[in-house]
Amino acid sequence: MRALLKFSEPAKLPASRISPGEKLLGNALFEAVVCEFHWTALQIGAIACCMNASLATRRSWMLRTCSNLVPVQSPVVKAGLRSWHDIGLSRDLAASIGRIHFDLRDARQLALPLITSAGGFAAPTIPLAKLEQITAVWRKLAEDCRNAIVELEPETRWKLAGGYTANALVLGRFLKEAMAGSRACVDHYGEVALPILPQRRRTPQYRLDQPCKISWQAGTIISLARSISKDGISFECDRSLALREPVSISLRNGRKMQGHIVCSSGGRTDARFISSLPDDDKLLAG
């Protein structure tokens, strides 16, 4: 009874935005891993194209642009791969992404001495055989990234906003061209024009910390809504709800939203809204 009485209290002031430095959980961590991996794939494709251009023109100095493109594995990806089951990654896909970052370390060690020495137009000439070897390594990385993105896309499509699916299409084409030896994104001066990804940043999260009512086909419970974004909501739940389960979320001010379960683990459940909230929604006011 107390929970129901508390649920009917007036709404609080608008939620405050969650700091990017705070620990990510559930679907927020999944989204951050996807975002970081897409950016890594974009960088790998760009370096492969630079290698292709340098090899095709025999101009080793063109590699100097790569100094700003060499990716590293972010702490977010490390955390996501450690929690692969909780964020909804398959074991094989998590292993594939982990293997890409493992191979990336070796590729960096091979490429960085060449990139460093290519800092000016009068840089020493890199042996053709060496350049061919390293170009093959980065083309293979581009191929592995493309395969992982294709495998990741179905999970991304129903868990996250459509922009990430558009990312997968852009990256798929770009990486395929890089694998095949393309240098179309590199101009005569060695400068790279990266393709624009429709979705580049994680959706901001806002604190709620208020009771809510969760309804699904099998019943209704009173829960605690922890955070919200324009695309979904996170709440505490002592029941394990099935993935893709349709749910109705009611806040204590009477606001109702429809969605489906995208993550349920360790007492925390995330639902994605069927219709995204507008950018000027009061729930998203920081």
Q: What is the pLDDT of residues 84-100, one digit of tens each?
A: 888 888 999 999 999 99
CATH class, range 2-18+204-284 = mainly beta
- Count of alpha carbons within 13 angstroms of residue 27, beta-carbon side: 31
Q: Mind listing the pLDDT tens digit of every residue in the chain (286 residues)?
A: 334 334 333 344 445 665 544 566 778 889 889 989 999 999 999 999 999 998 898 888 888 888 888 888 888 899 889 988 888 889 999 999 999 999 999 999 988 888 887 755 555 567 888 889 999 999 999 999 999 999 999 999 888 877 788 999 999 999 999 999 999 999 888 888 889 888 766 677 888 888 999 999 888 989 999 888 888 999 988 777 888 899 999 998 889 999 999 888 778 889 999 888 888 888 887 5
Count of beta carbons in the 10 Å neighbourhood of residue 251:
19
Average pLDDT over the chain, rounded to whole?
A: 84
In the chain, domain spans: 2-18+204-284, 26-179
pLDDT in tens, 1-60: 334 334 333 344 445 665 544 566 778 889 889 989 999 999 999 999 999 998 898 888
Which two three-digit tokens encode residue 88? 């909804």
pLDDT, position 42:
95
